[in-house]
Amino acid sequence: MGPDEDDNRWPLWLKPLLRERFFGQCKLHADSHKSECNMYCLDCINGPLCSLCLAHHKDHRVIQIRRSSYHDVIRVNEIQKYLDISSVQTYVINSAKVVFLNERPQPRPGKGVTNTCEVCERSLLDSFKFCSLGCKIVGTSSNYVKKPKNSPEKRRTPAMASESEESYSSSSSSHGRRNKIQSFTPSTPPPTSANYRMAKRRKGIPHRSPMGGLFID
């Protein structure tokens, strides 16, 4: 199976979707409080849309992107209508089952973890092969070489598999090792604090000498 066959395996909208950056402000409706772009039209494939843009996409297939810890997710009941998400790990967040669009950085698998994503090596439950839709595309391509996995002594379900404490945010707003593969991650880094204060050395207090003059320590 060559590159052309790989592309034909997936809907035309999938790869463009994974490369998009969501939750920016809509340029057409910047004056509205509903101008956040967290929608995507699978028929037009013309970039992120805000809720006001949907008036021009009636009867189209539109999905909503949500956020979990600065990463884009989509509800399973929305995406599975249009895409086979088998072997991609699902997560329960705020009582809704979701899948991540792209891989997420993880320094190393937890101790005792026996199953990891075949592409980015993120810890997974034993019944899954990929941590995200992007990793499934890469990992099932004809030119991808699967990395060998180690065999730890114990089998244990990774604690990260349940992320129900995380929350969606539709109003706020990678890395892993690769074998020369394509990444779809648009990477939205979490905000970092730049308010570091430099301590300043305090000058010595002037003292008066016995002769009436001043000197500085």
Q: What is the pLDDT of residues 160-196, one digit of tens each?
A: 444 443 443 433 334 444 444 455 665 444 454 444 4
Residue 54 lies in a domain: yes
Domain that holds residue 76: 5-139
The pTM of the full predicted model, rounded to 2 decimals, is 0.68
Q: What is the mean pLDDT of residues 3-9?
A: 67
What domain count does the chain have? 1
Note whether residue 170 is domain-resident: no
**Residues 124, 126, 127, CA angle at the centre, nearest 5°?**
105
Residue 202 lies in a domain: no
Provide the terminal-to-terminal Cα distance of the chain, rounded to the nearest Å: 79
Q: Inform me whether the pLDDT recorded for 199 exceeds 60.
A: no
* Residues 6 or more apart in contact with residue 95 via CB below 8 angstroms: 164
Flag whether 171 is in a domain: no
- Residue 175 in any domain: the answer is no
pLDDT in tens, 108-123: 777 888 899 999 999 9
Q: Is 156 exposed, middle or buried (0-12, 13-18, 19+ CB in 10 A)?
A: middle
**Does some domain include residue 112?**
yes
Average pLDDT in the chain:
76
What single DSSP character describes residue 53?
A: G
pLDDT of 123 reads: 92
**Band of pLDDT at residue 74, cut at 50, 70 and 90:** very high
- pLDDT value at residue 112: 83
Residue 160 maps to a domain = no
The stretches of the chain forming alpha helices (DSSP H) are 3-8, 14-19, 76-79, 133-139
148: pLDDT strictly greater than 70: no
For residue 97, tell me if it sits in a domain.
yes
**Nearest-angstrom CA–CA distance, 52 and 32:** 9
